[in-house]
Amino acid sequence: MSVVTALISSVIAAIVSAVVMKIKMVRKATDDAKRDSAELRELILQNTKMTCRLAIYDEHFSIDEKLSAYEIYRSHGWNHQTKTYMDEVVGGDVDEYLTRHEVRS
């Protein structure tokens, strides 16, 4: 009887050990995915910011394109120095200009 009990105990221990290892692997994979997701989100935000700045400051973009880029830029709270430039582009307060433009649309 003790041989059977020992055999059952070792099988149970092996199963528990395998389950614990699997849980650890899943946790690590989840942590890696969260880290990768955060890194990807940061890269997307950086790319968005650079693309908006390009559209805002590059002379080849139309005023409408600049305003669209500024709205995205502003929505992320990045508009500190850009607002002054965009005020010059529209010949007044850009935020008021956008408000009037949105109301007419």
Please report the pLDDT score of residue 105 as a whole number.
43
Asked if 82 and 94 count as a contact pair (C-beta separation under 8 A), the reply is no
Q: What is the pTM of this model?
A: 0.62
Write out the residue range of the structural domain in which residue 36 sits. 2-104
- What is the number of domains present in the chain? 1
pLDDT band of residue 27 (cuts 50, 70, 90) is very high
Give dist(CA 44, CA 73) in Å, integer. 13
Mean pLDDT of the chain: 87
Angle subtended at Cα 71 by Cα 66 and Cα 74, rounded to the nearest 5 degrees: 115
Q: Give 41-50 contacts, CB < 8 A, sequence gap 24+.
A: 45/76, 48/72, 48/76, 49/73, 49/76, 49/78
Q: Which two tokens stand for residue 96?
A: 């008021």
